[in-house]
């Protein structure tokens, strides 16, 4: 008897597992229906609207219109067409899907209206033959004084951040053949409005890409800190930098740093510091005052 | 016959068989101490490393919230003068504001359409920005979110633009701050290095301390085991000035006492066997004499046999005394009762009559009533009899023995006087020692073995009393014993 019960349990488990299918994909003919998240509830929401992939039984347009009014099965999503809002009828001509909305649609304004329009547009414009969605209520476009026709391109759900941009900067390295400092361009990923000085120095310390060039600075140079004030860039280096003789002379090392930095628009001169204090005598270089371009 | 070894067999316990200095229990204790130090320090270091960082983070979050919200609010109020937020108007005002800082600024109208965006790439101007922060702001809320991840603080703020009592749009601000994050990271790195140094110091210190502690304990442990195995001369080195040093002192004293006791025991057994040998040798000699003489005269044989009888009597007395002593040593006591000393003295005097008559000594008794003592019947009798017997034996012909008892200052005093030769001053302190005899030749002749007085002393002291011998110049000896006066009535149980 016990064995039978166990067998039954095992079968039920198997059946249960088989029941939860993976989400349908476009390859299966599924469409994405967009629903709003619970964005009004807390500050911590990741997105405003989320797609749910469903397989339409027959004609996708009525299917989607019906689905948009329903509360989705997934957690944390709300119906795209809130209380009572629905498409009474629709017509498709020249890629424009005109939706005749119920009277409740007229009650929507501002943010909630945009959310509803966005869900409908993003969902329907992905369907074949639909490139634009037009909203009407009681035979007249709504909103009357604003935008009532939407394409998918009218919306963006991207997170609004500062994207690092590959910015070319010029750095000076030493060419042993010509015995002179030579400029080399590096691409640095900086965010807009971010100060480039730190990145310039870090890449300068790393060394040149071109193997025929060498770094004018001792290997393993570390940057303690950098700041910009009234056009003067304060470069804070550890004591080991000032104690180690650079490979191609003190003047070359200072020039490499100064010239690389002053190429930046906001830097006019470089003030060297040793661990926060004024820099000591560096070979034949006096670093008490800011060093300009050279 | 099984050999009775005088020293205890040195048995090796399983623990003792391990390497010396590495006793099982000591190792565990050291581990316990070291682990508890380490556990405490680790807990503290974890707290030290996490709490300040968390506090700093939350402080920075708060500061960011303040600054971002203020900036967003400033922008919002600048825009509030407009009726409708259009791209042109918004752009103009934003240009005037000229906001600094590593930020992305997006301004939307009341529908969520971006009218201004300062991004160079992926500019959202002219599109509806479907972001929850913006739509919450459009609904009237002030939004702030900040997170510390991947070496930077990323903060977002969104506030509504209110004009004439309605929402005109929303201002969204995003800030990317790697500078503060670097400072925080440097702080975290410093604390980590301090923690590592501290942790290693503590590790070393805890091992050193716990080992020092455990070593002293294991020394003591080893000492105990050695003494238990019979090495009474072993002493533990006293180290330091704390409780463990006191423990070592106490251990050494205890062992010293053990050693003395052991020595006394051995001496007693040696003395006892020596005493037993003498009468046995005499008996042997007498028997041999009888057996070896072919036609021994009957009267001589009678004489010898009588002597054999006397020696065996002496043996009997000796063994009885030895037995009494071992009983005292083993502390097997008879029950005590409230006894009248007078009755005991009278009985002892009566029993001594034949001996006294033979020695030509007269015995006087002058005992008061009411001399009640808490004692065992046999023990008390033994005390009185021994003292009076000694007084009779070590006397001169025509001498006297006086036995007195009275109550004074809450104590019952017994005095036994005799008119004997007295005891030399240098012998007085030693008379109560076992087997000690003042006049060796005389006392052996008299049949004694030097045990009587030690029995008396042990028994008197057991009953809470004390005894001493006095011998004033000019002869005579006086034994003085005193007991606490029993508060109970006579005959009552102890």
This model of the complex carries an ipTM of 0.78
B34 vs B106, more confident:
B106
Candidates B104, B112, B178; nearest CB to A161: B104
pLDDT band with cut points at 50, 70 and 90 for residue B164: confident
Q: Please, where in chain B does CATH 3.30.565.10 lie?
A: 335-484
Mean pLDDT of B128-150: 91
Residue B108 has pLDDT above 90, yes or no: yes
Q: Please, where in chain B does CATH 1.10.287.130 lie?
A: 258-332
Q: Return the residue of A nearest to B129 by Cα.
A: A156
**What pLDDT is attached to residue B493?**
52
The CATH architecture to which B258-332 belongs is: Orthogonal Bundle (1.10)
Residue B250 has pLDDT above 80, yes or no: yes
The separation between the first and the last C-alpha atoms of chain A, rounded to the nearest angstrom, is 95
Residue B14 has pLDDT above 60, yes or no: no
Mean pLDDT of B93-122: 83
The CATH number of domain B335-484, selected from 3.30.565.10, 3.30.379.10, 3.30.70.3400, 1.20.120.1200: 3.30.565.10
State which H helix or E strand residue B388 sits in.
helix B377-393
Tell whether B475 lies on the interface with A, counting CB pairs under 8 A. Answer: no
**What pLDDT is attached to residue B142?**
92
B176–A160 C-beta distance less than 8 A: no
A49–B101 C-beta distance less than 8 A: no
Distance CA B144, CA B71 (A): 12
| Cα–Cα nearest to B224, from B258, B262, B261 | B258
A48–B135 C-beta distance less than 8 A: yes
**What pLDDT is attached to residue A17?**
56
Mutate to test the interface with B, among A41, A45, A76, A162 (most CBs of B within 10 A): A162
Residue B10 has pLDDT above 50, yes or no: no
**What is the C-alpha R_g of chain A?**
32
The whole-chain average pLDDT of chain B stands at: 83
Residues of B in contact with A160 (CB under 8 A): 104, 106, 119, 124, 129, 131, 156, 172, 174
Count of A–B CB contacts within 8 Å? Answer: 102
Q: Return the residue of B nearest to A115 by Cα.
A: B130
A160–B174 C-beta distance less than 8 A: yes
DSSP-derived secondary structure letter, B486: P
A47–B130 C-beta distance less than 8 A: yes
B130–A157 C-beta distance less than 8 A: yes
Query: How many other C-beta atoms are found inside a 10 Å radius of the C-beta of residue B467?
Result: 20
Phi and psi torsions of B430, nearest 5°: -100, 0
Tell whether B437 lies on the interface with A, counting CB pairs under 8 A. Answer: no
Percent of all residues in chain B with a pLDDT value above 70, rounded to a whole number:
89
B104–A162 C-beta distance less than 8 A: yes
Q: Return the residue of A nearest to B108 by Cα.
A: A111
B420 vs B184, more confident:
B184
Q: Return the residue of B nearest to A224 by Cα.
A: B186
B4 vs B405, more confident:
B405
Mean pLDDT of B213-240: 85
Residues of B in contact with A49 (CB under 8 A): 130
Tell whether A118 lies on the interface with B, counting CB pairs under 8 A. Answer: yes
**What pLDDT is attached to residue B98?**
66
Residue B220 near residue B239 (C-beta atoms within 8 A): no
Mean pLDDT of B206-230: 84
pLDDT band with cut points at 50, 70 and 90 for residue B278: confident
A49–B129 C-beta distance less than 8 A: no
DSSP-derived secondary structure letter, A192: T
Q: Return the residue of A nearest to B158 by Cα.
A: A43
Tell whether A113 lies on the interface with B, counting CB pairs under 8 A. Answer: yes
Q: Token pair 């008879």 is at which residue?
A: B334
The string of DSSP letters for B234-253 reads: --PPP-SSSHHHHHHHHHHH
Q: Where are the alpha helices (DSSP H) in B167-234?
A: 179-228
**What pLDDT is attached to residue B446?**
55
Q: Is B423 helix (H, G, I), strand (E, B) or coil?
A: coil
Question: Which 32-51 residues of chain A touch chain B by CB within 8 A?
Answer: 37, 39-40, 43-49
B411 vs A44, more confident:
B411
Mean pLDDT of B345-369: 89
B146 vs B9, more confident:
B146
Q: Give me the tens of pLDDT residue by residue for chain A, a chain 294 residues long.
A: 788 777 776 776 766 555 556 677 777 778 899 999 988 887 778 889 999 888 888 888 888 998 899 888 888 888 999 888 888 888 998 989 999 988 888 888 888 999 999 999 999 999 888 999 999 888 888 887 788 889 999 999 888 888 888 889 999 999 888 888 899 999 988 887 678 898 999 999 988 888 888 888 888 888 888 988 898 999 999 988 888 888 888 888 899 999 999 998 889 999 999 988 888 888 888 888 888 876
In the numeric block, which tokens belong to residue B107? 């301004």
A40–B121 C-beta distance less than 8 A: no
The domain ranges of chain A are: 25-154, 165-292
Tell whether B145 lies on the interface with A, counting CB pairs under 8 A. Answer: yes
A161–B130 C-beta distance less than 8 A: no
| Cα–Cα nearest to A51, from A104, A126, A106 | A126
| Cα–Cα nearest to B485, from B417, B416, B405, B415 | B405
CATH class for the domain made up of B17-231: alpha beta
How far is the alpha carbon of B46 from chain A, nearest alpha carbon, in Å?
27
**What pLDDT is attached to residue B1?**
46
Candidates A46, A146, A160; nearest CB to B111: A146
Distance CA B158, CA A48 (A): 14
Give the tens place of pLDDT for each residue, B435-465. 777 766 555 555 566 788 888 898 899 888 9
Mean pLDDT of B305-326: 85
B154–A48 C-beta distance less than 8 A: no
Point out which residues pair with A278 in neighbouring strands.
Answer: A273
pLDDT band with cut points at 50, 70 and 90 for residue B27: low
How far is the alpha carbon of A32 from chain B, nearest alpha carbon, in Å?
17
Mutate to test the interface with A, among B72, B102, B130 (most CBs of A within 10 A): B130
Residue B176 near residue B152 (C-beta atoms within 8 A): yes
């Amino acid at each position: 008897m016990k064995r039978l019960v166990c067998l039954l349990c095992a079968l039920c488990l198997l059946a249960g597992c088989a029941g939860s299918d993976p989400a349908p994909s476009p390859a299966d003919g599924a469409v994405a229906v967009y629903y709003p998240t619970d964005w009004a509830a807390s500050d911590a929401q990741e997105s405003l609207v989320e797609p749910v992939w469903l397989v339409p039984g027959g004609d996708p347009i009525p299917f989607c219109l019906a689905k948009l009014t329903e509360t989705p099965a997934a957690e944390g999503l709300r119906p795209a067409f809130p209380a009572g809002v629905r498409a009474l009828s629709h017509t498709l001509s020249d890629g424009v899907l005109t939706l005749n909305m119920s009277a409740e649609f007229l009650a929507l304004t501002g943010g909630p209206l945009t959310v509803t329009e966005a869900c409908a547009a993003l969902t329907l414009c992905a369907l074949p033959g639909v490139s634009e969605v037009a909203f009407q209520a009681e035979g007249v476009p709504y909103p009357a004084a604003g935008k009532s026709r939407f394409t998918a391109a009218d919306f963006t759900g991207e997170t609004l951040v500062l994207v690092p941009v590959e910015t070319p900067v010029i750095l000076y390295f030493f060419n042993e053949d010509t015995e002179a400092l030579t400029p080399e361009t590096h691409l640095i990923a900086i965010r807009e409005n971010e100060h480039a000085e730190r990145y310039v120095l870090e890449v300068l310390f790393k060394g040149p890409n071109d193997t025929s060039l060498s770094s004018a600075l001792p290997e393993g140079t570390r940057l303690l800190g950098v700041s910009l004030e009234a056009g003067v860039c304060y470069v804070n280096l550890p004591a080991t930098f000032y104690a180690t003789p650079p490979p191609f002379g003190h003047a070359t090392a200072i020039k490499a740093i100064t010239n690389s930095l002053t190429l930046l628009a906001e830097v006019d001169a470089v003030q060297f510091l040793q661990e926060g204090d004024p820099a000591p005598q560096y070979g034949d270089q006096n670093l008490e005052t800011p060093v300009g371009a050279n | 016959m099984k050999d009775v070894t005088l020293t205890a067999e040195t048995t090796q316990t399983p623990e003792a068989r391990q390497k010396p200095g590495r006793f099982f229990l000591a190792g565990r204790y050291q581990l316990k101490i070291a682990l508890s130090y380490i556990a405490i320090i680790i807990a503290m270091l974890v707290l030290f490393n996490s709490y300040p960082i968390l506090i700093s983070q939350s402080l920075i979050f708060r500061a960011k919230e303040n600054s971002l919200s203020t900036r967003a609010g400033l922008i919002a109020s600048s825009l509030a003068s407009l009726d409708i937020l259009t791209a042109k108007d918004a752009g103009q005002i934003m240009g005037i504001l000229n906001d600094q800082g590593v930020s992305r600024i997006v301004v939307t109208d009341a529908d969520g359409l971006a009218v201004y965006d300062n991004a160079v790439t992926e500019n959202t101007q002219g599109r509806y920005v479907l972001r929850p922060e913006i739509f919450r702001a459009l609904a009237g809320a002030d939004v702030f979110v900040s997170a510390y991840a991947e070496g930077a603080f990323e903060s977002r703020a969104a506030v509504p633009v209110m004009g004439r009592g309605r929402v005109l749009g929303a201002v969204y601000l995003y800030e990317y701050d790697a500078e503060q994050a670097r400072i925080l990271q440097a702080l975290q790195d410093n604390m980590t290095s301090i923690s590592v140094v501290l942790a290693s110091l503590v590790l070393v210190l805890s091992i050193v301390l716990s080992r020092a502690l455990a070593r002293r304990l294991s020394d003591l442990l080893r000492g105990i085991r050695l003494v238990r195995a019979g090495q009474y001369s072993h002493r533990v080195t006293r180290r330091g000035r704390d409780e463990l040093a006191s423990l070592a002192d106490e251990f050494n004293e205890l062992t010293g006492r053990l050693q003395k006791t052991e020595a006394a025991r051995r001496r007693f057994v040696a003395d006892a066997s020596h005493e037993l040998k003498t009468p046995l040798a005499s008996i042997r000699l007498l028997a041999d004499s009888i057996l070896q003489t072919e036609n021994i005269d009957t009267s001589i044989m009678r004489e010898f046999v009588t002597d054999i009888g006397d020696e065996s009597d002496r043996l009997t007395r000796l063994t009885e005394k030895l037995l009494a002593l071992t009983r005292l040593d083993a502390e097997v006591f008879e029950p005590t009762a409230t006894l009248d000393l007078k009755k005991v003295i009278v009985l002892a005097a009566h029993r001594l009559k034949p001996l006294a008559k033979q020695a030509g000594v007269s015995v006087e008794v002058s005992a008061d009533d009411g001399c009640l003592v808490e004692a065992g019947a046999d023990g008390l009798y033994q005390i009185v009899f021994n003292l009076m017997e000694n007084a009779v034996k070590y006397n001169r012909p025509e001498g006297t023995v006086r036995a007195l008892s009275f109550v004074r200052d809450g104590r019952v005093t017994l005095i036994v006087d005799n008119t004997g030769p007295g005891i030399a001053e240098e012998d007085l302190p030693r008379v109560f020692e076992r087997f000690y005899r003042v006049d060796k030749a005389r006392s052996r002749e008299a049949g004694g073995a030097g045990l009587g007085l030690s029995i008396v002393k042990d028994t008197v002291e057991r009953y809470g009393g004390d005894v001493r011998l006095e011998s004033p110049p000019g002869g005579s000896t006086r034994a003085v014993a005193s007991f606490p006066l029993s508060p109970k009535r006579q005959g009552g149980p102890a």
